[in-house]
Amino acid sequence: MSTSTVTPSAPAFDRESFDRLVGASALPEWAIAARRQAFERLESLTLPDRRDENWMRTDLRLFKPKAWGPRPAPIRAGVADEGLLAPAILSGDLASESYADFEAAASPVGPATLGGRFAAVDGHVVRDELDPALAAQGVVFGSSDRLLAAHAELFRPHWFSVIDAGCDWFAALHAAFHAASAVLYVPPRVKIAAPLHVISGISEGGVDTSHVLVVLGEGAEATVLTETAGGGPAGGAGGFHCGGTEIVVGRGGLLRMVNLQNWNTGVWHVARQRALVHENGRLQWTLGALGSRLSQVAQDVALVGRGADAQVNGVMFTEGRQHLVYNTLQHHEAPSCRSDLLYKGALQDRSRLVWRGMIKVDKAAQKTDGYQRNDNLMLSDEARADSIPGLEIEADDVRCTHGATSGRVDAEQIFYAQARGLSADEAARLVVAGFFQQVFDRITIPQVREALARAIGSRIRRIT
Amino acid sequence: MTHAAKETLVVSNLHVSVDGQEILKGVNLEIGRGEIHALMGPNGSGKSTLGYAIMGHPSYEVTSGTIELVDADGTRHDILAMEPDQRARAGVFLAFQRPMSIPGVRLADFLRHAVTNVRNPDRKEGHELMPMRDFRTELKSKMGELSMDTEFARRYVNDGFSGGEMKRAEILQLAMLRPKFAVLDETDSGLDADAVRLASESIARIGGAEMGILIITHHEQLLEHNIPLKTHVMLGGKIVESGGPELAQELHKRGYERIRAAYPEAAAAEKAMEESARAVSV
Ligand SMILES: Nc1ncnc2c1ncn2[C@@H]1O[C@H](COP(=O)(O)OP(=O)(O)OP(=O)(O)O)[C@@H](O)[C@H]1O
Ligand SMILES: [Mg+2]
């Protein structure tokens, strides 16, 4: 295992690297063909620019595409252990400080084991495990290199067909160079209580292009936790993540999905994520974002079968000079579906958070119930938040609403809490925790809620 | 100052400004533990300003004078040098005329932080909170004494509370925190007749012989069970007259006409303050 740091001669995302990747690949021919197609597309594209409305509020001037490429080996393998969610589940210690949780002590404390664990560092798989009891029920989980060839019938129909692999330079790069990717298949009617955990770590100056594909059969249930960790701080070698997530919830299935982005502050994070929810399927999808230098995330939900339901939660905390951009789409393609998006962000220092949301209702999607809301809490005068909701409705019998708020921590609230003996910092943290409570209430996995709350709490500094 | 036989809160020649505008113009007040004082005065005379200055609100600048806690042995503690939370931990409490809401934070969780800090003045954030079990037992019993529904503790601090509910929540906090000195700023306003009676009884019970209380009020009922040792009248940013309980009754019956006539200087200051307040609001 190499421990050398990245040198300027590190490989780039070019033909040489591509040929090496394909040469060493264990993927089946159909997956390699998809790679090749994406690579051709990549060569015809340039970096997105600000004329593209999805990228209008994203500053890529300092992103140097040639500086990044596949890393030949994990630089620092230990980074895969630095996630927040696996320890939160495994410690078995909810340790909630909440009165309400205490009062409700009879209710379940939540899962305390993981059904499977997958970890990658700098684009290399370092852990690939599934509880044998789940495997015996037909659950397939782990490395795509290992599983795509063996289970083509399960994955081929969905692999890079849920997201648009050619829509821009990053999407094409991801589709051409994805590595250390994870797939999950849950057979019809199999219900998994223990979460499946996927972590992608990078070393300082590292690169991650991992892909995640989750397929739930009819009536299947699962909880998937994915997280990212590592990379270098702003000002150093940083890191680069160019990822993709594809989700298919079968008829009547239920997926709880959590994606926690917790990179160090020097990491470029570009992710394209899309879910298809079939008839009466339910998706509860939570994005947590705490890190990165710059994030550009597309989070799309398509409700493709009657009665499908998607709840989308966002918990964002930004600080320093972080700049996070989210483009969300709730696409109602079928009638009588419900989508409910709530993004909440707290901004510290000179950070910037952009949310651009769209509810799109097709002509066929009568009786749509769509909601989107973005609340931001400004913890400094220099932070900036943009909320841009949008509706595009072609059906006539729908209920679609949106809202956005932006507020500040009120000095009077801090004084009130101080007058009751709370230090100013403690008061500020309580006020911010209160701000997130509404979205935390929607996250049904208590340990995830607690881990997010603590991570945010630890980052809040005195509010001036 | 004379040597105090019991702990006292001593305000001396206090001048307080807001935005450079002087509001308090030399206030003197001395409250011993176990004593009840009433503070009355027309709207805008500076009563709440005194409460804020005692608690350390950052917008209220003390330009001269002192506020001190004096131990029974005469040791003096300058509370102006303390942050508001240090004052709370030193045993000072203010029931707000207009309490702030903190959405998303349950009253119980808020109070547990408060109680833990006030009882362990050296506690740093992150140190353990009072055990939930003990806290809950105590909270429930206090709420029972105040005839409050325990569900109330699960609501977010003052968020969507009615005027009366806010005041009752302030009394609950007083009961849980058991300070040495409390300023109750119009804790009776917004309460219905029954609730005022209950508040009056509760405050008397909570206060007992241990607490020095300054009751700011425009009414009499709160004083029914809390007979003031002294009644102070504030006008134009000064305490112009002090008397016994009969003074409170007189003011309640007859208003401030006699006071204004007797203290023309303070009455002039009141006029000037009103005018400048009007000028600011225009
Ligand atoms: N934060 C502030 N900003 C501007 N002016 C203030 C502020 N606080 C108090 N004042 C002014 O100081 C004066 C005294 O106000 P204060 O609230 O102390 O009066 P009060 O005696 O409590 O009146 P009330 O009986 O109506 O509660 C008023 O003229 C008021 O407008
Ligand atoms: Mg007042």
d(CA A154, CA B218): 76
Interface touch A426/B156, C-beta < 8 Å: no
Spacing, Cα A90 to ligand 1 middle (Å): 55
What's B8-98+177-281's CATH class? Answer: alpha beta
Spacing, Cα B200 to ligand 2 middle (Å): 19
Q: Count of residues for chain A?
A: 464
Spacing, Cα B51 to ligand 1 middle (Å): 11
pLDDT of residue B64: 97
Contacts of A407 in chain B (CB under 8 A): none
Whether residue B131 is predicted with pLDDT greater than 50 in this model: the reply is yes
Compute the average pLDDT of residues B187-210.
91
Whether residue A5 is predicted with pLDDT greater than 60 in this model: the reply is no
Whether residue B194 is predicted with pLDDT greater than 80 in this model: the reply is yes
Token pair for residue A118? 């997958």
d(CA A429, CA A313): 21
User: Confidence band (pLDDT; 50, 70, 90) for A392?
Assistant: very high
Ligand nearest to the CA of B234: 1
Residues flanking ion ligand 2, Cβ below 5 Å: B 47-48, 97
pLDDT of residue A2: 44
Partner residue facing A434 (CB), from B87, B103, B154: B103
Of the candidates A319, A390, A316, A381, the residue with the CA atom closest to the CA atom of residue A354: A316
pLDDT tens-digit map of B110-129: 999 999 999 999 998 888 99
Whether residue A130 is predicted with pLDDT greater than 90 in this model: the reply is yes
pLDDT of residue A111: 76
Compute the average pLDDT of residues B63-80.
97
d(CA A226, CA A224): 6
Give which of A420, A452, A454, A458 to mutate to test B binding, by max B Cβ within 10 Å: A420
Contacts of A419 in chain B (CB under 8 A): 55-56, 84-85, 87-88, 93-94, 96
User: Confidence band (pLDDT; 50, 70, 90) for A292?
Assistant: very high
Whether residue A108 is predicted with pLDDT greater than 70 in this model: the reply is no
| CB A159 within 8 Å of CB A151 | no
The percent of residues in chain A predicted with pLDDT above 70, rounded, is 95
The answer to whether residue B91 neighbours chain A at the CB level (below 8 Å) is no
Compute the average pLDDT of residues B221-231.
90
Spacing, Cα B146 to ligand 2 middle (Å): 24
Which 209-268 residues of chain B touch chain A by CB within 8 A? none
Interface touch B132/A102, C-beta < 8 Å: yes
Q: Is B118 exposed, middle or buried (0-12, 13-18, 19+ CB in 10 A)?
A: buried
- Tell me the three state secondary structure of residue B271: helix
- Among B24, B39, B49, name the best residue to mutate to test ligand 1's pocket (greatest count of ligand atoms within 8 A of Cβ): B49
Residue nearest atom 6 in ligand 1 by C-alpha distance: B18
Question: Which residues lie below 8 Å from residue B142, measured CB to CB, with a gap of 6+?
Answer: B172, B175, B176
Q: How far is A371 from chain B (nearest CA, A)?
A: 21
Q: CA A301, A305, A309, A314: dihedral to nearest 10 degrees?
A: 0
Q: How far is A100 from chain B (nearest CA, A)?
A: 7
Chain A / chain B CB contacts < 8 angstroms: 109
Q: Could you write out the three-class secondary structure of chain A?
A: CCCCCCCCCCCCCCHHHHHHHHHCCCCCHHHHHHHHHHHHHHHHCCCCCCCCCCCCCCCCCCCCHHHCCCCCCCCCHHHHHCCCHHHHHHCCCCCCCCHHHHHCCCCCCCCCCCCEEEEEECCEEEEEEECHHHHHCCCEEEEHHHHCCCCHHHHCCCCCCCCCCCCCHHHHHHHHHCCCCEEEEECCCCECCCCEEEEEEECCCEEECCEEEEEECCCCEEEEEEEEEECCCCCCCCEEEEEEEEEEECCCCEEEEEEEEEECCCEEEEEEEEEEECCCCEEEEEEEECCCCEEEEEEEEEECCCCCEEEEEEEEEECCCCEEEEEEEEEECCCCCEEEEEEEEEECCCCEEEEEEEEEECCCCCCEEEEEEEEEEECCCCCEEEEEEEEEECCCCEEEEEEEEEEECCHHHHHHHHCCCCCHHHHHHHHHHHHHHHHHCCCCCHHHHHHHHHHHHHHCCCCC
d(CA A259, CA A445): 13
Checking DSSP bridges between strand A211-216 and strand A254-263, what pairing results, if any?
unpaired
Compute the average pLDDT of residues A426-438.
93
Q: Any idea what DSSP says for residue B124?
A: P
The answer to whether residue B152 neighbours chain A at the CB level (below 8 Å) is no
Interface touch A99/B114, C-beta < 8 Å: no
Higher pLDDT, residue B190 or B232: B232
pLDDT tens-digit map of B148-171: 999 999 999 999 999 999 999 999
Q: Which of A56-70, A241-255, B174-188 has the lowest mean pLDDT?
A: A56-70
Side chain identity at residue A203, one-letter code: S
pLDDT of residue B1: 46
Contacts of A421 in chain B (CB under 8 A): 85, 88-89, 113-115, 117-118, 177
Question: Which residues lie below 8 Å from residue A203, measured CB to CB, with a gap of 6+?
Answer: A71, A74, A75, A76, A79, A121, A122, A230, A231, A239
Sequence spans of domains, chain A: 15-93+112-408, 94-111+409-464
Give which of B60, B101, B109 to mutate to test A binding, by max A Cβ within 10 Å: B109
Compute the average pLDDT of residues A389-394.
96
Phi, psi of A62 (to 5 degrees): -95, 0
d(CA B120, CA B89): 8
- Tell me the three state secondary structure of residue B244: coil
| CB A381 within 8 Å of CB A350 | no
Residue nearest atom 3 in ligand 1 by C-alpha distance: B18
Compute the average pLDDT of residues A156-171.
96
User: Confidence band (pLDDT; 50, 70, 90) for A96?
Assistant: low
Spacing, Cα B265 to ligand 1 middle (Å): 19
Give which of B105, B166, B176 to mutate to test A binding, by max A Cβ within 10 Å: B105
pLDDT of residue A427: 93
The answer to whether residue B85 neighbours chain A at the CB level (below 8 Å) is yes
Which 366-425 residues of chain A touch chain B by CB within 8 A? 410-413, 415-425
**Averaged pLDDT score across all residues of chain B:** 93
Interface touch A437/B132, C-beta < 8 Å: no
Q: Which of A109-123, A356-370, B80-94 has the lowest mean pLDDT?
A: A109-123
Q: Which of A79-93, A194-208, A415-429, B91-105 has the lowest mean pLDDT?
A: A79-93
Max intra-chain CA distance, chain B: 58
- Among B47, B214, B281, name the best residue to mutate to test ligand 1's pocket (greatest count of ligand atoms within 8 A of Cβ): B47
Compute the average pLDDT of residues B234-263.
94
User: Confidence band (pLDDT; 50, 70, 90) for B262?
Assistant: very high
Of the candidates B167, B212, B223, the residue with the CA atom closest to the CA atom of residue B38: B223
pLDDT of residue B158: 96
The percent of residues in chain B predicted with pLDDT above 70, rounded, is 98
Partner residue facing B104 (CB), from A418, A425, A437: A437
pLDDT of residue A463: 61
Whether residue A105 is predicted with pLDDT greater than 80 in this model: the reply is no
Whether residue A94 is predicted with pLDDT greater than 60 in this model: the reply is no
Of the candidates A240, A275, A280, A279, the residue with the CA atom closest to the CA atom of residue A123: A240
Whether residue A374 is predicted with pLDDT greater than 50 in this model: the reply is yes
The answer to whether residue A96 neighbours chain B at the CB level (below 8 Å) is no
d(CA A323, CA A26): 37
The answer to whether residue A99 neighbours chain B at the CB level (below 8 Å) is yes
Compute the average pLDDT of residues A206-214.
97
pLDDT of residue A227: 97
Token pair for residue A58? 């994203």
pLDDT of residue B257: 94
pLDDT tens-digit map of B74-104: 999 999 999 999 999 999 999 999 999 999 9
Query: What are the pocket residues of ligand 1 if the criterion is a CB atom closer than 6 Å to any ligand atom?
Result: B 18-19, 23, 41, 43-49, 59, 97, 273, 277
User: Confidence band (pLDDT; 50, 70, 90) for B12?
Assistant: very high
Whether residue B73 is predicted with pLDDT greater than 80 in this model: the reply is yes
| Paired strand residues for B102 | B157
- Range with the largest mean pLDDT of A43-52, A116-125, B118-127: A116-125
pLDDT of residue B281: 65
Cα distances (Å, whole numbers) of residue B38 to B35, B72, B209: 10, 23, 16
pLDDT tens-digit map of A403-413: 999 999 889 99
**Averaged pLDDT score across all residues of chain A:** 93
Q: What angle do CA B260, B263, B264 make, to 5 degrees?
A: 80
Q: Which residue of A has its CA nearest to B88?
A: A421
Task: Find where tokens 């508001």 sit.
Answer: B84
The answer to whether residue B269 neighbours chain A at the CB level (below 8 Å) is no
